[in-house]
Amino acid sequence: MDRPVREALEDETQRLRQALQEKEAALRELQHRAKNSLQLVISLLKLQSARIRDAEARQAYDQTLQRIEALAIAYRHLHESNSETEVELGRYLEELATTTCASLAGAAGVETRIQTESMTVGLSLAVPLGLILNEIVTTALRHAYPHDRWIRIDLRRTDAATAELLVADNGRGLPAGFDAEADAAMMLADALAGQIGATLAAGPSGTGGTEVRVTFPA
């Protein structure tokens, strides 16, 4: 290869490498700003929530706040991973489940058992799964629990191309006549599952409570 051609190729390679680094830096900065903006929104919403007296309106408000927190946690994990696009799904879902349970009054006295496999996925998959988990846990805890009850969350691979998120409890189970297609939280979870090519199945668990399985490509 002639020297002028080689030098031209080297210059072009260096230019492309520098352009890529600049785009990666800009993306990291954008993600950092998104994380900070979400935290600011959460802080403002929490201040406003204290003024809501109507119980039904307060519940709807808190559910919206939890959904925004799910996004904020995802962006924080993305920022801490030093990756532009991927997060460790198990760590993200574990923190999200803990945060969701801690924020719900119905979770008092309910033991949360979480077991996850290490699994790195893109943000486009992690965020819908986080929102699905939030909706399922919220629905489970919205129905009264007796004492000494638990909610279990498992994340595992079922084969090389598929993984499963299981949320099970030993509570009272869904009330008679419960219609998942008419429940806002379950409708949202099912819609999110459809967006990522996942299947969502809910039914009674072997312990008398309820279990929800989300099978997704990963």
Give one DSSP letter per residue of 106-164, joined into a string. Answer: GGTTEEEEEEE---EEEHHHHHHHHHHHHHHHHHHHHS---SSEEEEEEEEEEETTEEE
Whole-number pLDDT of residue 19: 72
Whole-number pLDDT of residue 27: 64
Mean pLDDT of successive 10-residue stretches along the chain, which has 218 residues: 71 75 67 74 78 82 87 87 84 92 74 90 93 90 70 94 93 68 82 95 81 94
Rounded CA-CA distance 32/81 in Å is 12
Confidence (pTM): 0.79
User: Could you give the maximum distance between any two Cα atoms of the chain, in Å?
Assistant: 80
Task: Tokens for 63, please give them.
Answer: 């559910």
Task: Tokens for 206, please give them.
Answer: 């072997």
Say if CB 215 and CB 198 are below 8 A apart. yes
Whole-number pLDDT of residue 14: 78
Whole-number pLDDT of residue 4: 72
Whole-number pLDDT of residue 31: 67
What single DSSP character describes residue 79? H
Rounded CA-CA distance 60/198 in Å is 26
Q: Which fold has domain 3-217?
A: Heat Shock Protein 90 (3.30.565)
Say if CB 140 and CB 167 are below 8 A apart. yes
Alpha-carbon dihedral 99, 104, 107, 112, rounded to 10 degrees: -20
